[in-house]
Amino acid sequence: MRPHLMAAAAGLAICAGMAGAQSLKFPIGEGDFNWGSYDEFKSGHDLSGQTLSIFGPWRGDDQALIETVLAYFTEATGVNISYASSENYEQQIVIDTEAGSAPNIAILPQPGLIQNLVSKGFVTPLPDGTADWLRENYAAGESWVKLSTFKGPDGVDRIYAFPYKIDVKSLVWYVPENFEDAGYEVPTTMEELKALTEQIAADGETPWCIGLGSGGATGWPATDWVEDMMLRTQPPEVYDEWTTNEIPFNDPRVVEAIDEFGWFAKNDAFVAGGAGVVATTDFRDSPKGLFASPPQCYMHHQASFIPTFFPEGVQMGVDADFFYFPAYESKDLGSPVLGAGTLAFITKDSPAAQAFIEFLETPIAHEIWMAQTGFLTPFTGANADLYGDSTLKKLGKILTDATTFRFDGSDLMPAGVGAGSFWTGMVNYVGGASAEDVATQIQSSWDALK
């Protein structure tokens, strides 16, 4: 019964693969895509009949998008891809790797989790040239190399993961016409942003919508705030020391950054609904206040994915827009940008898995998704003109204008802190606890992990 079944399953998979191949999103050879890179990749890789399993964080519409990219890999190499995701992908990947049924490729947004898997020996190092490739081809290459480097089970640092698709976090979303109606200007420095916040409050309106609710992950939006504030009050080196715990979490500089966030979030006059509802308001519902009539708030700090949760019919660039979350003019720290992203790594080595990592080094793997929606890349070899809309272009510009780029700190910390006590600590903080107490608690949870 079993071989028979396998054959049937393979047959089905081939059919699915062919269906994918027929529906390539952009016909090969047309448009401004770098088809040369595609052809070159194709000529070097004939892996027909092989299969590749990929486990990623993208579901729903995002899954449809990644599958358009994967279709080109299948077309070029003949490899059948089965892409899968799951709601609790962190748990799933841990169970699968521990039990020995790992996918070929895993793509995850948490470097902390990847470090965990790497140190248990579940991840295959990437080829030697990868570091050089990132340095040369990614904007601010060195910071990407650093992000992709993990300490192996033998204690040696190697490149284990390949960054692909990033999000910019240092953004403030607003409704341009509401600003016009009230006569507000887009602030370009943190001093102006704070003055604007006070002015809106003085006008009897509410400046900010802040929501930390996210089910089991409640609290994470606040970590983005604190990280952004960290980059705006301290040099990036201090940020790095903070995320690696070389300076303790309750260092006065960190406490100061937390209180900078508190200046916005813990003031009843500054937040829609008052500080009390910040922790329970769902982060997905929170931006809807911008579009209410009359507006419940004027500004919302969130990463580049948030337009997904804007009300239906909101047109980006017309009904809603964003500006860069500005830096202090007085501190002279340039324009730091906070971001996040996903990293691809090999959990079960095979020629197809190696080929997939090489595929991610071709411009075409980036351009296909760029030309659609919700994708940013630091890959300088990809044609920036292909960005699907003006919003993405503008986001891309923030990324290239950045003098400092830093990865989401909570994702760099061990999961017990970055996806645990940091989240809960921020909830306690907006609930009334002092920044010192919260920071000390987080530090003690970090100590417990050592």
Partner 1 sequence: MNPALQGVITIIVGVGGCIGYFFLSNLVLDKFVFPPVGKHAGRNINRANLVRPWLFLLPAVIALGLYLAYPVVATFWLSLTDRDAGGAFVGAANYVQMMNEPKFWEAIRNNMLWLIVVPAAATAFGLIAAQLTDRIAWGNIAKSLIFMPMAISFVGASVIWKLIYDTRPADQDQIGVLNAIWVGLGGDPQTWLTIPFWNNFFLMVVLIWIQTGFAMVILSAALRGIPEETVEAAIVDGAGPFQIFFKIKVPQIMGTIVVVWTTITLVVLKIFDIVLAMTNGQWGTQVLANYMYDKLFRSFDWGVGSASAMVIMLLVMPILIWNVRTVRKEMR
Partner 2 sequence: MDNIAGTKSSLTWAVHISVVLLVALWLFPTVGLLVSSFRTADQIATSGWWSALGTQKRQEPAIRVEGDQVQEGDVYVIHGELFPVADAKVSAWGTSSREPEAYEPGQTVDIGDGDTLTVSESGAYTLTSPESLEGKRLPRIFSTAATPPEFTFANYRNVLFSSTAAAGVGQSFVNTLTVAIPATIIPILVAAFAAYALAWMEFPGRSLLVAAVVALLVVPLQLALIPLLQFHNAIGIGKSYLGVWMAHTGFGLPLAIYLLRNYMVGLPRDIIECAKVDGASDFQIFTKIVLPLSFPALASFAIFQFLWTWNDLLVALVFLGTDDQRLVLTARLVNLLGSRGGQWEILASSAFVSIAVPLIVFFTMQRYLVRGLLAGSVK
Contacts with partner 2 by CB under 8 A lie at 9, 12-13, 16, 53, 55, 57-64, 82-88, 92, 95-96, 98-101, 175, 177-178, 181-182, 214-215, 282, 284-285, 288, 291-295, 305, 308-309, 311-312, 315, 318-319
Contact partner at residue 63 from partner 2, partner 1, none, CB < 5 to 8 Å by partner kind: partner 2
CB closer to partner 1, 316 vs 433:
433
Give the nearest distance from C-beta 82 to partner 2 in angstroms. 6
Contact partner at residue 62 from partner 2, partner 1, none, CB < 5 to 8 Å by partner kind: partner 2
Query: Alpha carbon of 25 to those of 42, 350, 367, 374, 377: distances in Å?
Result: 17, 27, 12, 16, 19
Among 52, 105, 427, 438, binds partner 1 (CB under 8 A): 427
Is residue 8 within the footprint of partner 1 (CB under 8 A)?
A: yes
Give the nearest distance from C-beta 277 to partner 1 in angstroms. 6
Give the nearest distance from C-beta 367 to partner 1 in angstroms. 36
Nearest to 325 by CA among 235, 233, 390, 424: 233
Contact partner at residue 273 from partner 2, partner 1, none, CB < 5 to 8 Å by partner kind: partner 1
Among 4, 48, 100, 154, binds partner 1 (CB under 8 A): 4
Among 227, 402, 414, 442, binds partner 1 (CB under 8 A): 414
Give the nearest distance from C-beta 98 to partner 1 in angstroms. 10
Contact partner at residue 280 from partner 2, partner 1, none, CB < 5 to 8 Å by partner kind: partner 1
CB closer to partner 1, 14 vs 64:
14
CB closer to partner 2, 242 vs 356:
356
- As given in the structure block, the two tokens for residue 302 are 């969130």
Give the nearest distance from C-beta 32 to partner 2 in angstroms. 25
CB closer to partner 2, 23 vs 380:
23
Distance, in Å, from the CA atom of 431 to the CA atom of 149, rounded to the nearest integer, reads: 37
- As given in the structure block, the two tokens for residue 21 are 């191949």
Report the 3 state secondary structure along the chain: CHHHHHHHHHHHHHHHHHHHHHCCCCCCCCCCCCHHHHHHHHHHCCCCCCEEEEECCCCCHHHHHHHHHHHHHHHHHCCEEEEECCCCHHHHHHHHHHHCCCCCEEEECCHHHHHHHHHCCCCECCCCCHHHHHHHHECCHHHHHHHHEEECCCCCEEECEEEEEEEECCEEEECHHHHHHHCCCCCCCHHHHHHHHHHHHHCCCCCECCCCECHHHCCHHHHHHHHHHHHHHCCHHHHHHHHCCCCCCCCHHHHHHHHHHHHHHCCCCCECCCHHHCCCCECCCHHHHHHCCCCCCCEEECCCCHHHHCCCCCCECCCEEEEECCCCCCCCCCCEEEEEEEEEEECCCCHHHHHHHHHHCCHHHHHHHHCCCCCECCECCCCHHHCCCHHHHHHHHHHHHCCEEEECHHHHCCHHHHHHHHHHHHHHHHCCCCHHHHHHHHHHHHHHHC
CB closer to partner 1, 231 vs 272:
272
CB closer to partner 1, 90 vs 167:
90
- As given in the structure block, the two tokens for residue 110 are 């948490």
Nearest to 289 by CA among 268, 262, 309: 309
* Piece of 196-204, 226-234, 387-395, 409-417 that binds partner 1 (CB under 8 A): 409-417
CB closer to partner 1, 233 vs 443:
443
Write the binding mask 196 to 225 for partner 1: x where contact by CB under 8 A, - elsewhere. -------------------xxxxx------
* Piece of 61-69, 179-187, 311-319, 411-419 that binds partner 1 (CB under 8 A): 411-419
Site for partner 1 in 231-290 (CB under 8 A): 272-274, 276-277, 279-281
CB closer to partner 2, 92 vs 434:
92
CB closer to partner 1, 8 vs 19:
8
CB atoms within 10 A of CB 146: 13
CB closer to partner 2, 27 vs 60:
60
- Strand 171-174 and strand 149-151: the pairing is unpaired
Contact partner at residue 65 from partner 2, partner 1, none, CB < 5 to 8 Å by partner kind: none
Residues in touch with partner 1 (CB under 8 A)? 1, 4-5, 8, 88, 90-91, 94, 116, 215-219, 272-274, 276-277, 279-281, 292, 296, 414-416, 419-420, 424, 427-428, 431, 448-449
